[in-house]
Structure 1
Amino acid sequence: MNWTEKYRPKTIKEIVGNTKAAEDFKRWIEDFEGGRVKKASILYGPPGVGKTSCVYALAGEEEHKYDVIELNASDQRTYKVIKRIAGSASKTSSLEGKKKIILLDEADNLHGNADRGGAKAIGEIIMGTRHPVVLVANDLSKIPTGVKNRCKKIKFEQIKKSSISKVLVDICERENITFDEDAIEGISEKNRDLRAAINDLQLYLLERLISALRTSQFMEETFFWGWITERIGPTS
């Protein structure tokens, strides 16, 4: 299993390195429920700092329980597609009566001639929505002004190296795997993107295990690959 998914934060308190931004987002959601704030927010900052994870963490908390309706980067961003996927969802409740968050990831991709009405569709959805609309972006300056002005802006900062190291050590301990402090230091120095750092850690440990286990004459091939997959994830 991919460790970025396995160790994705389950609550707002588990967001690393951006406690204030996560709490600001939670406060905005609670104020939205009380009808006291703008209907949309933009979570912006560098890749891998917990923006999208923050949305899913809050949505899963027992006190909130939202369904997340996500329009991700692989979807077309035309007026027609955005209105079809997000427009109806923004005005209706789920079959179970649960609340919804309308999430547009990589919203800075709306900018430019390729937009084809996407920004207009987002603006219309924000004005007519019954549910909170959340845009996630790396670069706030690339969000069209008309959309940006309708949103509360919440900035996520780059995560400190020490915080990333702490997460990587914690993962190793939870997986019951010994680790090389120099390797942890190197991965943390290279990546201020927590998602990339976790991926690099998993790859490093996988390569180390494969190298060590292949030298054993007592390990049959089927057991070897089964053990690897169970312990640290598939090799491809």
Structure 2
Amino acid sequence: MRPQHINEVVGQQHLVGPGKIIRRMVDARLLSSMILYGPPGTGKTSIASAIAGSTKYAFRTLNAATDSKHDLEIVAEEAKMSGTVILMLDEIHRLTKPKQDFLLPHLENGHIILIGATTENPYIAINPAIRSRTQIFEVKPLSESDIAHAVQRALTDKQNGLGKMQIKLTDEALKHLCSATSGDLRSALNGLELAAKSTVPNKKGTILIDLQVIEECIQRKSLVQDKDGDAHYDVISAFQKSIRGSDVDAALHYMGRLIESGDLISINRRLLTIAYEDIGLANPRAAAQTVQAVTAAEKIGLPEARIPLAVAVIDLCLSPKSNSAITAIDNVLTDIRKGGYGEVPLHLKDAHYAGAAKLGRGADYKYPHNYPHDWTQQQYLPNRLVGKQYYHPKTNGRYEQALKDQYNRLKKAQQKKQTAKNDNSKN
């Protein structure tokens, strides 16, 4: 069912629709090398096949991970003789440097039109030398209507599809096939083929494919992602952002997808990060509860781990939020990297070694516990940073409200003493 012409490509109309970039290239016969990236089964190889079929150029397919440099040399020799070859290179993110170095000159002279395919983010996973010589296009998951169209075409196509078989696909089964494969047309067609060829025809010779048959044939179907794929990290990102946005149902949904993929490690790490980054001082109890939930999840493992993890997710979603701690330390690091630091005040320097007193180390240091309320005014920041404020308290929770009140009291007392000290020095 692989398309032989650009008009036969299912979905991806933002690339192959009328007036869109790949369609323009094909119509003008001005092809350039490109990288197509997106989830499995969404049409990367199909687009390459359709481009070759529409332009009548020779078409070859290789895999960057399994095919050798010698295989590339064969394609290059063919390109020299025929003029132009379209090379579909799957898993291009796994292209080794020797293969890359061989390929680059052929891309430069235009003998080979490279169409690379990858499920990885090319801006992260692909070498800049290849990336700079290609256009990058994102291939998106197909819609349910796109998959339904392709399935119906497969059922009627007598040459390449299942049209010679007498198949009846129920509406319920079709709907489930289109929705449960999550935009992966290859999975949908593979499931349909398995269902058709493994179902015994009835007395009339009809192969009835109902919901139960489809469920058995596509197995783990809907929301499971490749743990190493780009889409998996998108789910992790959506998981944290849903908790940050206090959407319990969305957060549980994305965690469910991570559980189905078996990625307990990412869930635990992300929850611990969220507890301190997004909830933080607004509700320290939630952070402690999260640590307990993650510890329990690690000890009992999946599938039972889903229970304490769900408790943690709901708690974090509905907790007051504050990012004041991460903002404070990031403000400090930004300042330091810009040169915002100075010499440690003399009275704060290490004074435990022999001879430190002669150097004035630790002189005039005031031990706070010797004063009422275990506090006394003295300078702690370097001279050039006196008065600098990195921490800006929030008031979304009672705990941080109390911290803010205490912070402001101490700041005020410190400034009052500093003002009096400045006045005395003027007098």
TM-score, L = length of structure 2 = 0.41
Instruction: Identify the match of residue 137 of structure 1 among 89, 107, 118.
Output: 118
Q: Does 1:205 align with 2:196?
A: yes
Question: What runs of 5+ residues in structure 2 fail to find an aligned partner?
Answer: 158-162, 206-427
Q: Is the 8 A contact 1:42 1:134 kept in 2?
A: yes
* Amino-acid identity (%): 24
Deviation at 1:198, TM superposition (A): 0.5
Give the structure 2 partner of residue 227 of structure 1: none
In 2, the alpha carbon distance for the partners of 1:165 and 1:27 equals: 27
Alignment of structure 1 residues 69-88 onto 2, 5 Å: 69-72=60-63, 75-77=66-68, 80-81=69-70, 83-88=72-77
In structure 2, the residue corresponding to 1:10 is in which secondary structure? coil
Alignment of structure 1 residues 1-236 onto 2, 5 Å: 7-22=1-16, 23-29=20-26, 33=30, 39-61=32-54, 64-72=55-63, 75-77=66-68, 80-81=69-70, 83-90=72-79, 92-94=80-82, 99-110=84-95, 115-139=96-120, 140=122, 141-174=124-157, 175=163, 176-191=166-181, 192-208=183-199, 210=200, 212-213=201-202
In structure 1, the residue corresponding to 2:59 is in which secondary structure? strand
Give the structure 1 partner of residue 375 of structure 2: none
Deviation at 1:125, TM superposition (A): 2.6
Q: Which amino acid aligns with 2:81?
A: S
In 2, the alpha carbon distance for the partners of 1:123 and 1:26 equals: 25
Q: Which amino acid aligns with 2:144?
A: K
Task: After superposition, give the CA deviation of every residue in 1:164-192 in whole Å (9 maximum; x if it has no partner).
Answer: 12321333344252111111122212212
In 2, the alpha carbon distance for the partners of 1:82 and 1:121 equals: 11
In structure 2, the residue corresponding to 1:69 is in which secondary structure? strand
Q: Is the 8 A contact 1:169 1:184 kept in 2?
A: no
In structure 1, the residue corresponding to 2:167 is in which secondary structure? coil
Answer with 1 or 2: which has the greater Rg.
Answer: 2
In 2, the alpha carbon distance for the partners of 1:155 and 1:132 equals: 18
Task: After superposition, give the CA deviation of every residue in 1:61-90 in whole Å (9 maximum; x if it has no partner).
Answer: 3xx21111322357435xx43552333334
Q: Is the 8 A contact 1:188 1:197 kept in 2?
A: yes
Give the structure 2 partner of residue 4 of structure 1: none
In structure 2, the CA distance between the partners of 1:129 and 1:73, relative to structure 1 (3 Å rule), is same
In structure 2, the residue corresponding to 1:68 is in which secondary structure? strand
In 2, the alpha carbon distance for the partners of 1:144 and 1:19 equals: 28
Task: After superposition, give the CA deviation of every residue in 1:79-126 in whole Å (9 maximum; x if it has no partner).
Answer: x43552333334x132xxx7421222221222xxxx252232232331
In 1, the alpha carbon distance for the partners of 2:125 and 2:92 equals: 8
- Aligned Cα root-mean-square deviation (Å): 2.7
Higher relative contact order (CA 8 A, sep 6+): 1
Task: After superposition, give the CA deviation of every residue in 1:190-223 in whole Å (9 maximum; x if it has no partner).
Answer: 2121011001011112233x2x45xx6x99xxxx
